[in-house]
Amino acid sequence: MTEEILEPELPIIDPHHHLWDLRPLVPAFPEPRHAFIEAIAGAAYYTFDELHADTHSGHNVVGTVFMECGAFYDASRADALKPVGEVEFVNGVAAQGASGLYGDYRPCAAIIGHADLARGDGVRPVVEALLAAGNGRFKGIRHAGAWDADPEVLGPPFHAPEGLYAADSFREGFAAYADYGLTFDAWLLEPQLGDVLDLARAFPDQQIVLDHCGTPLGIACYRGKQHERFDSWRRSMRALAECPNVAVKLGGLAMAFCGLPEDGPDKGHGSEHLAGLWRPYIETCIEAFGTDRAMFESNYPVDRWGASYPVLWNAFKRLATGHSEDEKRALFAGTAARIYDIEHVLDLPAASA
C-alpha cells in the first residue's frame, strides 16, 4: 500500500520502536506460528539501516526513542546485568545517527532499557550500569507485566508473572528505581489496567508511560469482543488519566494482539480504514489525557502486522485533523521530547523545517 504522505513537514519523534536480530530465534517457534511471531518474522533483522529506511519513507521523523525488547543482551555478564548489552548496542546506533552522515536525524536519542525490578533494592547497581552504558541517552526502563490466563493471547515469547506490578519484590525495586528520576514504561493488557493504576497511585511522583493505549485485545478468547469490552477499557483509561504522573502512547493498535485489523502482516489496508478502526481508542485517550500527556508511536516493526510505516503515520495524521497546530506538535513530537528529556532534538534544523 502506497499513499501520498500527509503533512510531510510536520516534525515527528517516534517514541517507541525496537531494534533486534531475531534470525536465530524465529525458526525455533512452533508451527503454526502465533500471529505476533508471524508479524515480526518478516522483519527478523531490524537495526540501523531498516529503521533509517522506515523513518525516511516520507514523513519528517527527526528523532526516535528506542524501547527495550530483550535484544543484544551481553552473554558474558551476570543475569541481572545482561540487559546492559542492549543499551550498549543501541547507544552505538544512536552515535551512528548523530555522526552527521545522515543529516539532522537522531535515532535512539532516548534509550529505554530493562532492569528486573523484582530484584528489589538490588536493582540499583543495574540501573547505574545502564546509565553508564547510555552515555546520557539512557532515560528509563520498561518492565513489561503483560499476562493473561489464556496462553494463546500472548503466545510463546511473553507471559510475565500474574500480578507482577503488585508483588512485594517488584514494589521494593520500583521504590528504589524511583530515586533516579527516570521514566518507567508499562506494558500490560487491557484486563490488567487496574494493576498499573494501583502502581501509579502508590508512586505519584514517578513518571509512568502506558504503552499501546493499554492494549485492548481482539485475539484468541477475546476475538471479536472489542465492542463489548470497550466501555470497560474506557473506564480504566479515564481512571488512569486522573493520575497526573501517567502519560499514554497512542499506537500499538496495529499489533496482532488487538485485532485492529484482524488480518496481517500488512495486508495493504489504507490509512483511512485504519483511522476508522482506531478512532474510538485514540480519541478517548486524547480526551482523557490531553495532548500534553499523549504521544503517537509506531511500535515498529511489531505494528507491521497492520500497516506499513508511512501508512501508519498517515492514519495518525488523519486522527489528529481536528487538533490545533500546537496540539499536533505535542502529539507528534513535543510530549515525547519533554517526557523522555530529548527536547534538543526539536532544535535541530530538520525539526523546524
Output DSSP code: residue 66.
E
Can you give the pLDDT at residue 86? 98
Provide DSSP, 92-146.
Answer: HHHHHHTTSTT-S-EEEEEEEE---GGGGGGGHHHHHHHHHHHTT-EEEEE----
Starting at the earlier edge strand, list the strands of the sheet with 60-67. Answer: 11-17, 60-67, 106-113, 138-142, 183-186, 208-210, 246-250, 294-296
pLDDT along the chain (353 residues), means of 10: 92 98 92 92 97 98 98 98 98 97 97 98 98 98 97 87 97 98 98 98 98 98 97 98 98 97 93 98 98 98 97 98 98 98 93 73
Q: What span, in angstroms and rounded, lies between the C-alpha atoms of 343 and 334?
A: 8
Residues 282 and 213: beta-carbon distance below 8 Å = yes
What are the C-alpha distances in Å from 36 to residues 29, 146, 209, 210, 273?
11, 14, 22, 20, 21
Provide DSSP, 301-338.
Answer: TGGGGT--HHHHHHHHHHHTTTS-HHHHHIIIIIHHHH
C-alpha cell recorded at residue 175 = 521504590
Q: What span, in angstroms and rounded, lies between the C-alpha atoms of 191 and 229?
A: 9
Can you give the pLDDT at residue 145? 98
- DSSP 3-state helix, strand, coil percentages of the chain (rounded to 5)? 45, 15, 40
Q: Tell the residue number behind the cell numbers 500527556, with chain if given.
A: 293
User: Exposed/middle/buried for 168, CB within 10 Å: 0-12, 13-18, 19+?
Assistant: exposed
Q: Tell the residue number behind the cell numbers 531475531, with chain if given.
A: 22
Can you give the pLDDT at residue 46? 98
Closest Cα to residue 293, out of 183, 179, 175, 190? 183
Output DSSP code: residue 160.
P
User: Exposed/middle/buried for 305, CB within 10 Å: 0-12, 13-18, 19+?
Assistant: buried
Indicate if the alpha-carbon torsion angle 150, 152, 153, 154 is positive or negative.
positive
This prediction has a pTM of: 0.98
What are the C-alpha distances in Å from 274 to residues 37, 54, 92, 170, 265?
21, 19, 34, 37, 14
Q: pLDDT (tens digit, 9 = 90+) per residue, 92-104?
A: 999 999 999 999 9
How many other CB atoms are there within 10 angstroms of residue 296's CB atom? 27
